[in-house]
Amino acid sequence: MTAATMQALVYTAPREGTQLREIARPQPGPGEVVLEVAAVGVCGTDIHVWQHGMHGGGPVVLGHEFAGVVAAVGAGVSSVRPGDRVVSETASYVCGECIYCRSGQYNVCPRRRGFGFQADGAMANYVRTRPAILHRVPDDLPMAYAALTEPGCVAYNAIIEKSRPRPGDHAVVLGPGPIGLMSVAVLRLCGPTRISVVGLRRDGIRLELARRMGADEVVIADEEDAVARVLNSGDGYGADLVIDAVGVSATLRQSLDMVRPNGQITKIGWGPEPVGFSLDALIRKAATLQGSFSHTYGTWERVLTLLASRQIDVRPLVSPFALSDWYAGFSAMEDLEAAKSVLLPNGHALAELYSEVQKH
């Protein structure tokens, strides 16, 4: 590797078509910033792409949950400078002209392009991004934890900005994956009476983490009737709020069955399956079904504050891996042995994380 090149995890096809390669190091153009990547989270979507492929194909550098240090800035950039510790949002491009961009809802810009999919991402030594989507990382927040700002924002947007959580609620989270676990942490801030997390027996490690993140109970859906368990809690009418962090048809049906009248279902998880059942329960219960996608600038600022203050404590979730050990990190998540693999492309972030662990 030379000063003009870097290591990057490049997707061209599933499994063997995803490899660590030496490619050209990005340079900032006018209005652009290049970060030295300190930490990048492995998302469930990255695992899915690695397993099954990506619509539109590659080649593309994977990774969209990242924190780094500003390495170089292009002409006209004055908001950040080399040496700044930052996290980046996930949209490599938005048009800036549509009604959604102009009204601050750029997360649903129809021409949005995301890092790691339509543009090279951050599973590399360096990544090119935009200054408008950078946020400063508090000094006392290790970069390995700052890389979880993005999934934290997904959960915060779904629960605080799209849902109606109230003190005294019974909230249910379907799926103890990274987003489900972050949802537990965000829900805990809202004063619920009970948080239930539904998973499967093979989710054992993640269900234990759900308890550590604030769940009051875990329900193992392949060993007991999760709907009956929820309905038999409290006053018997069901959950005030159901967060579907899985996304398949079966969990949507569970959501409809366990939500109480006038309750709410917020769907975060993606799933290609057809519904295949009646939605009349949504009408009969006068319940709300809400989708939630991505996040915007203000969400990132709030979540960074919550991470730095440990009001959202992601320390139990992080399993660090060197970039060269990416396969082990991906496999650990595929095998449900890790809740959140975080790749650390440089030694500074690893030393910082070690120091943090030693303190606690």
Q: Which residue has the tokens 């652009």?
A: 32
Q: Which residues pair with 145 in a beta bridge?
A: none
Each residue of 132-146: pLDDT tens digit? 999 999 999 999 999
> Residue 302 burial by CB count (10 A; 0-12/13-18/19+): exposed, middle or buried?
middle
- At 204 the three-state DSSP class reads helix
Please report the pLDDT score of residue 350 as a whole number: 63
Question: Which residues lie closer than 8 Å to 98 by C-beta, 6 or more apart?
Answer: 109, 110, 111
DSSP readout, 330-347?
A: HHHHHTTS-SEEEEE-SH
**How many Cβ atoms are within 10 Å of 93's Cβ, its own excluded?**
14
> Residue 253 burial by CB count (10 A; 0-12/13-18/19+): exposed, middle or buried?
middle
- At 262 the three-state DSSP class reads strand
pTM across the whole model:
0.95
Task: State mean pLDDT over 332-353.
Answer: 86
Each residue of 209-238: pLDDT tens digit? 999 999 999 999 999 999 999 999 989 999
- The radius of gyration computed from the CA coordinates of the chain, to the nearest angstrom, equals 20
Q: Which residues pair with 5 in a beta bridge?
A: 24
**How many Cβ atoms are within 10 Å of 105's Cβ, its own excluded?**
13
Each residue of 182-195: pLDDT tens digit? 999 999 999 999 99
Task: State mean pLDDT over 55-74.
Answer: 94
Please report the pLDDT score of residue 353 as a whole number: 63
Q: Check if the beta carbon of residue 45 is closer than 8 Å to that of residue 54.
A: no
The model's confidence at residue 355, banded by pLDDT at 50, 70 and 90, is low
The model's confidence at residue 77, banded by pLDDT at 50, 70 and 90, is very high
The Cα 356–Cα 140 span in angstroms is 9
Each residue of 87-98: pLDDT tens digit? 999 999 999 999
165 token code pair: 């959580």
Question: Which residues lie closer than 8 Å to 357 by C-beta, 6 or more apart?
Answer: none
On the question of pLDDT at 175 being above 70, the answer is yes
Please report the pLDDT score of residue 58 as a whole number: 79
The Cα 54–Cα 48 span in angstroms is 8
Q: Check if the beta carbon of residue 315 is closer than 8 Å to that of residue 35.
A: no
Report which secondary-structure segment, H or E, holds 149.
helix 149-156
- At 221 the three-state DSSP class reads coil
> Residue 115 burial by CB count (10 A; 0-12/13-18/19+): exposed, middle or buried?
buried
Residue type, 41: G
Each residue of 7-20: pLDDT tens digit? 999 999 999 999 99
The model's confidence at residue 343, banded by pLDDT at 50, 70 and 90, is very high
Please report the pLDDT score of residue 226 as a whole number: 97
